[in-house]
Structure 1
Amino acid sequence: MLEVQKQLWHYLGRFLCISRANMSVDYSVRGSVAVLEVNNPPVNALGHSVRHGLKSGVEQAARDNKVKSIVIIGKGQTFPAGADIREFGKASKDPWLVEVGHTIEASLKPVVAAIHGTCLGGGLEIALFSHFRIAVPSSRVGFPEVALGLLPGAGGTQRLSRLTGLQVAMEMIYSGRHVASKKAKEYGIIDEIVTGDLMTAALKYAESVQGRTLNERRLGHKAVPNTDSVEKYTSAAMAQVKKKYKGFEAPVACVQAVRASAELPYLEGMERERELFNHLKASGQAWAQQYAFFAERAVSRWEMPRGSYKTAKPLPVRSTAVVGAGTMGSGIAVCLLSAGLPVYLLEQNDKFLQSGVKMIENIMAGSVKLGKVSMETAKKAATLLKPTLNYNDLKDVDLVIEAVYEDLALKREVFSGLDKVCKPSVILCTNTSTIDIDRISTATSRPDRVVGTHFFAPAYHMRLLENIYGTKTSPEAVATVMKLGKTINKVAVLVKSCEGFLANRMNGPFNTEATFLVEEGASPQEVDQINEDFGMPIGPFKVRDLSGTDISWRINREVAKALGTTITKETRFLGGNRYCGLNDDFFDKGRYGRKTGKGWYLYEKVGGKIPTVDAESEEIINNYRQRRQISKRKITPQEILERQFYSCINEGFRILEEGICNTPEEIDISWIYGFSYPKYRGGPMFYASQIGLKRIYERICHYHETCPYSIHWVPSRLLKKLAENDVPFSQWSNHVAKSKSKM
């Protein structure tokens, strides 16, 4: 655990600028109002000197007979937006935030919190200790601590419910949801929304409450409403937590802490909150989630091993096009349209084109219904979409994304067509999931403008955007697609081109081993269950049914074609590697997954979501084993977990070895946002560091001996070196950089 802490401090030094050395609170008196102006840019984090400044400021105002009320306000862009995360894991210096808060609450002079920007975490707790709260219309409040594996630790779980009631408090805290000022006023969190200059409004409001009796304004003295419904609200909240946040500890603890606010006296509730906070703080989940938080920010600092990437400026993208109106192409179009970008949607015939348009309309309508996009955004998107059957309509667009089938010949044909009609400055992107970018870019006269933009299904939902550069891709093209990722609200990870790139290359052995495990004796449902117990949202065979077994079938044929061979019923090796044809047998039976109502599982209808085991699926597997003369054996849950996840980890180290990416963080973020790897485990590489590289290496060597015909079990040289030298996780990237410099 100490090593994980060191890694987090390392990130803080590299990527965060939370506070200045001279953190302070500016104290002034304006008429009869003392103003405590938090002056700690950029986000007015509640570091030690800010806490000290707030406490001493309230005490100074108490001693000044001229002062009749107090205003706490943030200087610059925001009210205090939370704790100073540079202090995470360190011994906190007095005064603690709770002590500051109780000093504010005990003041005999009214304290007004004047909120603008984002009032989050400890900032909202300071506001809740204040007697009155006003805010500008654009401000937002919330408790985001759950995203770091924690809960509000300075009274937030005990005080919010006294204003909003249990139901709202539980949901706000376990979800980490930010609430706009208008809704916050409806909830009772904000007393008044003000317009114009906030300081002027705050002074006026503070003057208006001078002399007010404050007992009913001190939340520590206030009862939680509707305490007779504690069990009802707790049960409902826990049901939602189990549904939305399966496996996460922090949301459960958040509900438990808020429940304590209704069942215990205030001070005892505060003790219960601290007990739950300390338990979470020491847990592996909190460290993993905090690691993931910083890792996400780290990957945004992309770099290429060559070219002027540091000075490369992205080209303007004012108009776009998507070639292919299938499931993926339509999803990509939704991403672009939702960001306000005009999109030409190109298809080969009107039937496919209209199907794509309908799909986009349905996705947007569903997003509006779920509150993910506004009705205004959806209406604007409809005007920005330009369906077409004519390549010439794309002649002036700034960026094109090809999203046709995973077929090299077809993709080269598309790029050749684009090369003929598009303007010289256009960026040509391919949504390929496996094919080396160089094999596509040679179909054009401008390989420097060709780059991979690999979206993950469903494209409008999954946040990962894997951007891939080839040997000729220019830094400007890379800079453009990396900026595009931010524009469309994706987490963009830059990787070097190779077969499978980063995410799918690691997913290869992960999925291959799943099939081998079934071939040897496990059932698809056993493999899926182990994965889901580990924290994956759905198992690998349910994933295949979701994407379609025909996708795997096509990819395997492309691999065989590249190797100059074909796949038959008797194929047992492909490119010298063990091959399992079970997926082919399901494909031959027309079991393509949800789209046909049957795949590895049976579904209640075509397009259905509820999987059930059926006799035909079991028969296909049994017949396959008999044809291959494979004796079914009992496979333990531990073997299933190791063969899938450890083979994936081994491939991750190879990717680092080969310079496909630069850091383990890029791998972990790719899996968190591309395959919904459980964030509370930090990602495959972070997980490996927690298990211990010596143990990982030992088991990989074991499977290399017992599974000699799978190249993915050949131990990575980098893994071997790191394991033998017991290199801590915080130094992996340095070793990767040194290894690449010697290549």
Structure 2
Amino acid sequence: MGSGIATALLVSNISVVLKEVNPQFLQRGQKTIAGNLEGLVKRGSLTKDKMSKAISLLKGALDYSDFKDVDMVIEAVIEKVPLKQTIFADIEKICPPHCILATNTSTIDLNIVGEKTNSQDRIIGAHFFSPAHIMPLLEIVRTERTSPQAILDLITVGKMIKKVPVVVGNCTGFAVNRTFFPYGQAAHLLVSLGIDLFRIDRVISNFGMPMGPFQLQDVAGYGVALAVKDIYAAAFGTRNFHSGLVELMAKDGRQGKINGKGYYLYEKGAKPKPDPSVQHVIDEYRRQTKKMPGGKLVTLSDQDILEMVFFPVVNEACRVMDENMVIRAADLDIASVLGMGFPKYRGWPHLLG
């Protein structure tokens, strides 16, 4: 994610210091950024001259010595609270007083992330969506202590890098991921009831989503799902469905698109194909969950599947609005379309939901 964010900044002529923990990771990050830029050139959205200019604006670093003059830091490490807290405590000592301290966390409460800093007014969420240099949405997360100036500055940066900034409140999952966390959970519940996994994806894709929930999980990778699972369970325990499917997939050596094998098979230059060999994992998952009544498969229509997947999302969207996590319902509309790919011609969630 960090490489994608850096790419988005670089193509907008913003200088970037990319900090990593060792030379190998730094080289890999720089290589990923170069690949992102080359991809933009191939698509015709960036010239070779502008690519060269973008690369010249990138500087690699293995410590924070180059952070003494920066205007904004965006942390984009894995979803581990102690690590994020340590990073913010360290950079606060080096960065200038006006520097925005932003985190790209997709889930964790910002008050916890910034707990060990003395600059709570500068802590803000800058939640990009993957791939960050292509996806247009930027969720700007405010806490009760985030200064208005920090919010305005991040909105300005968002517009500079051609993102659509939406200001949201601070809660587990924020606006978009919180609204859609029941989306994947409902799909997992349906599989536990005996509904074919690939049928669920087809129904959701035919509805207008870019891909179904299981292909989306493959593309996103299982690491994020495993990292945030306990966070969602703690925050929404009474309406959280415990699914062990991702753990079983990982145990079976499947990592999704990352290693070419998840619910689908991924081969270079080819469209993803359903992997029939995943059935034994699904069978074990159903055996463990024991959700099928009398051990028999449940029969549902396509409309039933749609409603079981999306109605919990509508309910969560209502909670998000009731808790004032978004300023207006239309903000959640925009975020759902730009962040999750919800088909705008469906007119939901604001109009239909």
Q: TM-score range by the shorter chain?
A: over 0.9
1:590-636 C-alpha deviation (Å, 9 max, x unpaired): 2110111111222236xx76322334311111122123333321222
1:513-551 C-alpha deviation (Å, 9 max, x unpaired): 011111111122111111111111111111110010121
Which of 461, 467, 484 is matched with 2:140 structurally? 467
Q: How does 1:526-565 map to 2 (within 5 A)?
A: 526-559=199-232
What displacement does 1:369 show? Answer: 1.5
Whichever residue aligns with residue 509 of structure 1, its letter is: P
Q: Is the 8 A contact 1:338 1:378 kept in 2?
A: yes
Partner in structure 2 of residue 580 of structure 1? 243
Change (3 A) 1:592 1:677: same
**SS state of the match for residue 258, structure 2?**
helix
Runs of 5+ in structure 1 lacking a partner?
A: 1-327, 564-572, 689-743
Which of 297, 304, 307 is matched with 1:639 structurally? 304
Identity of aligned residues (%): 40
- Tell me how far apart the structure 1 counterparts of residues 253 and 79 of structure 2 sit (CA, whole Å): 19
- Tell me how far apart the structure 2 counterparts of residues 504 and 559 of structure 1 sit (CA, whole Å): 10
Q: Is the 8 A contact 1:649 1:685 kept in 2?
A: no
Partner in structure 2 of residue 661 of structure 1? 326
- Tell me how far apart the structure 1 counterparts of residues 11 and 51 of structure 2 sit (CA, whole Å): 7
**SS state of the match for residue 594, structure 1?**
coil
Q: Is the 8 A contact 1:591 1:599 kept in 2?
A: yes
What displacement does 1:508 show? Answer: 0.4
Partner in structure 1 of residue 344 of structure 2? 679
Q: Is the 8 A contact 2:201 2:214 kept in 1?
A: yes
Which of 293, 296, 316 is matched with 1:651 structurally? 316
Q: Is the 8 A contact 2:189 2:241 kept in 1?
A: no
Tell me, yes or no, if structure 1 residue 595 matches structure 2 residue 258: yes
**SS state of the match for residue 351, structure 2?**
helix
Partner in structure 1 of residue 91 of structure 2? 418
- Tell me how far apart the structure 2 counterparts of residues 430 and 627 of structure 1 sit (CA, whole Å): 37
- Tell me how far apart the structure 1 counterparts of residues 274 and 239 of structure 2 sit (CA, whole Å): 34
Q: Is the 8 A contact 1:669 1:683 kept in 2?
A: no
1:179-231 C-alpha deviation (Å, 9 max, x unpaired): xxxxxxxxxxxxxxxxxxxxxxxxxxxxxxxxxxxxxxxxxxxxxxxxxxxxx
Partner in structure 1 of residue 278 of structure 2? 617
What displacement does 1:471 show? Answer: 1.6
1:92-117 C-alpha deviation (Å, 9 max, x unpaired): xxxxxxxxxxxxxxxxxxxxxxxxxx
Partner in structure 1 of residue 72 of structure 2? 399
Q: How does 1:152-551 map to 2 (within 5 A)?
A: 328-551=1-224
Whichever residue aligns with residue 256 of structure 2, its letter is: G
Runs of 5+ in structure 2 lacking a partner?
A: none
Whichever residue aligns with residue 481 of structure 1, its letter is: L
- Tell me how far apart the structure 1 counterparts of residues 71 and 131 of structure 2 sit (CA, whole Å): 24
Partner in structure 2 of residue 84 of structure 1? none
Partner in structure 2 of residue 71 of structure 1? none
Q: Is the 8 A contact 1:594 1:609 kept in 2?
A: no
**SS state of the match for residue 400, structure 1?**
strand
- Tell me how far apart the structure 1 counterparts of residues 183 and 69 of structure 2 sit (CA, whole Å): 42
Higher RCO structure (Cα 8 Å, ≥6 apart): 2
- Tell me how far apart the structure 1 counterparts of residues 188 and 288 of structure 2 sit (CA, whole Å): 16
- Tell me how far apart the structure 1 counterparts of residues 284 and 301 of structure 2 sit (CA, whole Å): 23
TM-score by length of 1: 0.46
Partner in structure 2 of residue 128 of structure 1? none
Q: Is the 8 A contact 2:232 2:240 kept in 1?
A: no
- Tell me how far apart the structure 1 counterparts of residues 256 and 41 of structure 2 sit (CA, whole Å): 28
Question: Max radius of gyration: which structure?
Answer: 1
1:222-246 C-alpha deviation (Å, 9 max, x unpaired): xxxxxxxxxxxxxxxxxxxxxxxxx
Q: Is the 8 A contact 1:427 1:477 kept in 2?
A: yes
Q: Is the 8 A contact 2:185 2:241 kept in 1?
A: no
Q: Is the 8 A contact 2:172 2:231 kept in 1?
A: no
- Tell me how far apart the structure 2 counterparts of residues 405 and 471 of structure 1 sit (CA, whole Å): 24
Q: Is the 8 A contact 1:341 1:384 kept in 2?
A: yes
Equivalent residue pairs, number: 349
The Cα RMSD (Å) is 1.7
Change (3 A) 1:403 1:478: same
**SS state of the match for residue 489, structure 1?**
coil
- Tell me how far apart the structure 2 counterparts of residues 518 and 553 of structure 1 sit (CA, whole Å): 18
What displacement does 1:575 show? Answer: 5.8
Change (3 A) 1:609 1:424: farther
- Tell me how far apart the structure 2 counterparts of residues 680 and 411 of structure 1 sit (CA, whole Å): 39
What displacement does 1:374 show? Answer: 2.0
Q: Is the 8 A contact 1:470 1:497 kept in 2?
A: yes
What displacement does 1:558 show? Answer: 4.2
- Tell me how far apart the structure 2 counterparts of residues 331 and 638 of structure 1 sit (CA, whole Å): 37
Whichever residue aligns with residue 340 of structure 2, its letter is: F
Partner in structure 2 of residue 670 of structure 1? 335
What displacement does 1:576 show? Answer: 7.0
What displacement does 1:685 show? Answer: 2.2
What displacement does 1:588 show? Answer: 1.8
**SS state of the match for residue 88, structure 2?**
helix
What displacement does 1:406 show? Answer: 1.2
1:431-475 C-alpha deviation (Å, 9 max, x unpaired): 000111111122211010010000000001100000000121000
